[in-house]
Structure 1
Amino acid sequence: MTDCIIQTHALNFRFSRHKKVLDNVSLNIPKGSIYGFLGPNGAGKSTTMRLLTGILPEQENAITIFGKPLKEQLPQVFNNVGALVESPALYLHLSGYSNLKYIAKLRNVPESRIAEVLQLVDLAADAKRKVKYYSLGMKQRLAIAITLLNEPDILLLDEPVNGLDPNGMRDIRQLLVKLNKEKGITIFVSSHLLAEIEKMCTHVGIISHGQLKFEGTIEELSKFSGACKIQLTLSNAAEWHERLLAEYPEAVLENTSQVVLELPNREEIPQFTKKLVESGAGIYEIKILNGLEEWFMSLIR
């Protein structure tokens, strides 16, 4: 795939003769995508990330970035790649601005760049505060600001929302989407949280026990996962249950206001809803009861 900015070709990795962590993992990360690398803890996500960043030495010549073998580009490739693997290393006694100034000096980045990245990650108002007074989400955004100093084409982020509250997760998610859309940065992000990956990614790879189980777009993932059970909250549910039975014989009237039925996949929901509304249905809520999440859990088990 010529439009891929990162690829792994049957990537294997062993920590010892008896412990194979990655087994023929072939990833294709398209340029301009937000690619979610999804799997449970211990699946091989962090090992893959460490290999992509050169923290772990590659045992084979299986990784290409910008169309060239990674081994041939170390360490210069990180002039164009920003990486955040595991917990960010920040100087808590310094301000956010001073943390960035120190790293900028190390990387020969002009100090004028600091104000721009602080604005990008929405920390301009907190630039002079000491980092020890930052929330966990603010620290994570500062760490991402550090990765942006070099104006990278690629961001590699390992579990960037780990440990954050829902507001912190939303902030990081919105930031990554913004960086992708406004700056054109390709983002490779690992996570064990399906809901977060669904909300922000264009492509996804699912890994379990060191093996890649699925790779494709979010739409392909939804179709691949199969049937989707939904719960409809309606005005006059009993009447609509009778009308729906002709097309959905398995539809069940749960109570006076709710009907449960199954669609072929999640992609059918918008058209199905439109059809009901045009027929005069008063819909208060549509809730997905299973589908993608259940399929994902069965896949990684």
Structure 2
Amino acid sequence: MRTSAIVQTQNLTKKYGSINSVNKVDLHVQEGEIYGFLGPNGAGKTTTLKMLLGLIKPSEGTINIFGDSLSKHRSSILQRTGSLIESPSYYGHLTGLENMKVMQRLRNVPDKNVHEALRIVRLENQKDKRTEQYSLGMKQRLGIAMALLAFPKLLILDEPTNGLDPAGIGEIRELIKSLPKTYGITVLLSSHLLSEIEQIATSVGIISDGNLLFQGSVESLREKGRSAILLKTGDNTKAEQLLHTQGYSLTISGSHLEFDNLQDKEVAELNRLLVKHNIPVTRIEEHKKSLEDIFLELTGRGQSL
């Protein structure tokens, strides 16, 4: 059953001069999701998230969060929203706990929220240490603790694992994955790391050059990539000629003949046909496209995330 939309935009656009940094983006983030906003650096992710928080004014389009218009109800919306954009802000000469106390006064929340947020991000044993002595991962976790302080219904995170080592990335990943089920928090996070989005998100939006190219579940994204059958024979030239006369559609991929989306029955028939014409089949492989392959196909660009 489809849940209600927490974030919904229509034709969201941000222009800088003649350049559309974000171009007519329609986001739909459902309650209880971890929505991965994926794209290369400079694709428009941070600009979009800043518009959702009212930090940047859209050139065109509408934003509705919790069913309310951001332009009309920004204050009440932000009271139920936590965010960490670009990098955490903190006072280096203060301890982690003292920084949390500063944020506590701004958010007007009880003491128990401070200690619970520090516990969630596993900083309770480092709370009395000055933040200038924190590692990059600890600073990132402190920023997330500040964003969680009011236990918001919506948490917006911009590249939360950026710059972290593998251990730090794993810690942040597990933390984020626990939030919807344990605390009822819907998470919208951006990343240029496809591997991270694949492991953490339930839904994904792919943006490139300001355009939203795909939006849906991770599984539906995988389904966009058809599997290919790679076949190698003792005489690929002769095999190609024969198969073309029999109506098969194929391409040459290195030393293999490539066929899109053949069923098992069709592969068996193909093998029998080649053997019947004295063309030895030396290898048959199934190649399933990775999410990165699918991304490159969607964008039409030969670049990695």
Cα-to-partner distance string for 1:13-49 (whole Å, 9 max, x where unaligned): 1011x11111111110010000000000111101101
Secondary structure of 1:127 counterpart:
coil
The higher radius of gyration belongs to: 2
Give the drift of 1:60: 3.3
The two structures have a TM-score, normalised by structure 1, of 0.79
Cα distance in 1 for residues equivalent to 2:38 and 2:104: 32
Q: Secondary structure at the match of 1:74?
A: helix
The amino acid across from 2:286 in the alignment is E
Q: Find the counterpart in structure 2 of residue 144 from structure 1.
A: 144
Give the match for residue 117 of structure 2: 117
Determine the structure 2 residue equivalent to 1:11. Answer: 12
Query: Kindly, what percent of the aligned residue pairs are identical?
Result: 43
Count of residue pairs brought into register by the alignment: 254
2:59 aligns to what SS in structure 1?
coil
Quote the residue 2:294 is aligned against. 295
For residues 71 and 29 of structure 1, the distance between their equivalents in structure 2, rounded to whole angstroms, comes to 18
- Quick check: 1:261 aligned with 2:260? no
Instruction: Show structure 2 runs of 5+ residues with no match.
Output: 231-263, 272-282
> What residue in structure 1 maps to residue 207 of structure 2?
207
Given that 2:95 and 2:129 are in contact with CA atoms closer than 8 Å, whether structure 1 keeps it comes out as yes
What residue number does 1:270 align with?
none
Q: What is the 5 A alignment of 1:126-141?
A: 126-141=126-141
Code of the aligned partner of 2:115: A
C-alpha separation in 1, matches of 2:228 and 2:7: 33
Given that residues 83 and 157 in structure 1 are in contact (C-alpha distance below 8 angstroms), is that contact kept between their aligned partners in structure 2? Answer: yes
Q: In structure 2, what is the Cα distance between the partners aligned to 1:207 and 1:61?
A: 17
Tell me, what secondary structure is at the counterpart of 2:125?
A: helix
The corresponding residue for 1:48 is: 48
- Relative distance call for 1:74 and 1:196 in structure 2 (3 A) is same
SS of equivalent to 2:64: strand
The answer as to whether partners of 1:225 and 1:296 remain within 8 angstroms in 2 is no
Contact 2:11–2:61 (Cα < 8 Å) also in 1: no
Q: Distance in 2 between matches of 1:246 and 1:19?
A: 51
Cα distance in 2 for partners of 1:229, 1:124 equals 53
Residues 191-228 of structure 1, C-alpha deviation per residue, up to 9 Å, x if partnerless?
01000000010000000111111000011011112227
**Alpha-carbon distance in 2 for matches of 1:248, 1:158:** 46
Give the alignment's Cα RMSD to 1 decimal: 2.2
TM-score by length of 2: 0.78
DSSP 3-state at the match of 1:162: coil
In the alignment, the residues of structure 2 paired with residue 214 and residue 260 of structure 1 have an alpha-carbon distance, to the nearest angstrom, of 32
Once the two structures are superposed, what CA deviation does each residue of 1:234-272 show, in whole Å capped at 9, x if it has no partner?
xxxxxxxxxxx9885699xxxxxxx87215x5xxxxxxx
CA contact (8 A) 2:38 2:204 kept: yes
